[in-house]
């Protein structure tokens, strides 16, 4: 089996509300040690750090509670497990999806509606 070291990540910008889809190469990440996903509004929506190719940490500025949340990952699991839903520990809201690219895209699209309603609620 060919080993794909790319994972998909979907997160919503907590500055402008845009949904961002990104593909992350774990191979490149393990070499550079740091990867930042930026929104077109220039806001960093996700920071991924790794000191080796086995584990990595994802920092996400939460759209719900505006704190930075840290998620720990095992790259083996991230590549073999389907999708990981990252949720805000304070509100239990899903804030990002990481994993298989096609599945992440699919899930993000399905959640688009829910998140739009959430944003509406937050704006009131």
12 vs 101, beta carbon nearer Zn ion: 12
CA 109 to chain centre: 14
Contacts of Zn ion in 36-65 (CB under 5 A)? 39, 41, 43, 62, 64-65
Q: Which long-range contacts (CB under 8 A, 24 or more apart) does 76-80 make?
A: 78/7, 78/26, 79/3, 79/4, 79/5, 79/7, 79/26
Question: Does residue 119 bind Zn ion (CB under 5 A)?
Answer: no
Name the one range near Zn ion by CB under 5 A: 1-9, 32-40, 78-86, 103-111: 32-40
CB atoms within 10 A of CB 79: 16
Question: Does residue 15 bind Zn ion (CB under 5 A)?
Answer: yes
Which residues here bind Zn ion, judged by CB under 5 A?
A: 13, 15-16, 18, 39, 41, 43, 62, 64-65, 88, 90
């Amino acid at each position: 089996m060919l080993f794909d070291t790319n994972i998909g990540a979907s997160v919503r910008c907590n500055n402008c509300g845009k949904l961002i889809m990104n593909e992350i190469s774990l191979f490149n990440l393990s070499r550079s040690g740091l990867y930042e996903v930026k929104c077109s509004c220039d806001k960093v929506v996700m920071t991924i750090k790794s000191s080796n190719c086995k584990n990595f940490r994802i920092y996400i500025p939460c759209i719900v509670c505006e704190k930075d949340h840290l998620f720990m990952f095992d790259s083996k699991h991230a590549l073999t497990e389907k999708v990981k839903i990252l949720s805000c520990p304070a509100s239990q809201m899903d804030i990002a999806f990481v994993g298989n690219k096609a599945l992440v895209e699919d899930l993000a699209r399905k959640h688009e509606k829910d998140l739009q309603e959430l944003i509406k609620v937050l704006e009131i």
